[in-house]
Structure 1
Amino acid sequence: MQESSKAVCPETRSRMLRAVRKKNTRPEIAVRRLLHAMGFRFRLHRRDLPGCPDIVLPRYRTVVLVHGCFWHQHSGCRLANVPRTRPEYWVPKLARNVARDTLTSSALAALGWRVIVMWECETSSPRTLRAKLDGLLRSTPPQPVAATAVEPRP
């Protein structure tokens, strides 16, 4: 048995899971850097939108959700394996995440937002990531932004 797969006490496990970031993850930062380099301007974590999307491009009426392959169960991805220990806990938990993602995407679409999902495994190759983002975003012309929709700067 490998050292990392040994059982740990509940306090240690809790501390480890608390350290899992919800915002500003490595894949999210990779997508943000690339979007910025491509000349796109965006907002981060808009709490007034369903699900508090990771990246919001108001000019394109588009949101980018950057999902971790494990936590959001990327279908067919090698990073999305369900842990063998305590499957009675993990299977329902991960299923709830997937269900919440579906509801969030539907709610955003109902409000007129285009939803792009980027997966953690897609961020490892900058060239591939750039091609995907460029194709998706350049195919959508900028939307006129109403004067009332402009947000004040914090």
Structure 2
Amino acid sequence: MRGNRGRDTQPEMRVRRAVWSIGLRYRVGIRPLPSMRRTADLVFTRAKVAVFVDGCYWHGCPAHYRPARLNAEFWASKIEGNRRRDVETDLRLRQAGWTVLRIWEHEEAAVAADRVRAAVATARALSNPL
């Protein structure tokens, strides 16, 4: 597990490049809520939008997750814990007024960037109704 990156993964970089190319600027790898020990992959602080790029294996993608054959009980517990943590993170951020986007690593980067653009535009419109 030492070789698994916490940030700057290939799927994350693809999404970041696509979002950057459509003109959006963001912060990378920060805590949306300083009191919560969770970092988002892309954070739009003024719009209060947090984007997480989730790996299909580590977060249990319904389309691509395949259970491990070796040490299956350990890994099933680990993935289930990640899923529970993701749900809790989303809930806590939403309660604090944040918009949360979860992007699977297999999603097309341009499509994901459009989702991010829409979420940021909506959040900005809601915060500045004029």
Return closer, same or farther for 1:25/1:49 CA change in 2, 3 Å cut-off: farther
In structure 1, what is the equivalent of residue 5 of structure 2?
21
SS of corresponding position for 1:60: coil
In structure 1, what is the equivalent of residue 92 of structure 2?
107
In structure 2, what is the equivalent of residue 56 of structure 1?
43
**1:33 Cα shift?**
1.0
SS of corresponding position for 1:121: coil
| Partners of 2:49 and 2:119 within 8 A in 1 | no
Residue correspondences, number: 124
Return closer, same or farther for 1:23/1:130 CA change in 2, 3 Å cut-off: closer
Given the alignment, which residue of 46, 53, 58 partners 1:71?
58
**Structure of greater Rg:** 1
In structure 1, what is the equivalent of residue 119 of structure 2?
136
In structure 2, what is the equivalent of residue 39 of structure 1?
23
Unaligned runs of 5+ in 1: 1-16, 145-154
SS of corresponding position for 1:54: strand
Instruction: State the identity %.
Output: 29
Give the root-mean-square deviation of aligned CA atoms. Answer: 1.8
Question: Which structure features the higher share of helix residues?
Answer: 1
Question: Which structure features the higher share of strand residues?
Answer: 2
| Letter of the 1:33 counterpart | R
| Letter of the 2:49 counterpart | T
Higher relative contact order (CA 8 A, sep 6+): 2
**1:140 Cα shift?**
3.4
**1:103 Cα shift?**
0.9
**1:49 Cα shift?**
5.9
In structure 2, what is the equivalent of residue 81 of structure 1?
66
| Letter of the 1:38 counterpart | I
**1:45 Cα shift?**
1.6
Unaligned runs of 5+ in 2: none
| Letter of the 1:53 counterpart | A
Distance in 2 between the 1:116 and 1:49 partners? 20
Return closer, same or farther for 1:45/1:127 CA change in 2, 3 Å cut-off: closer
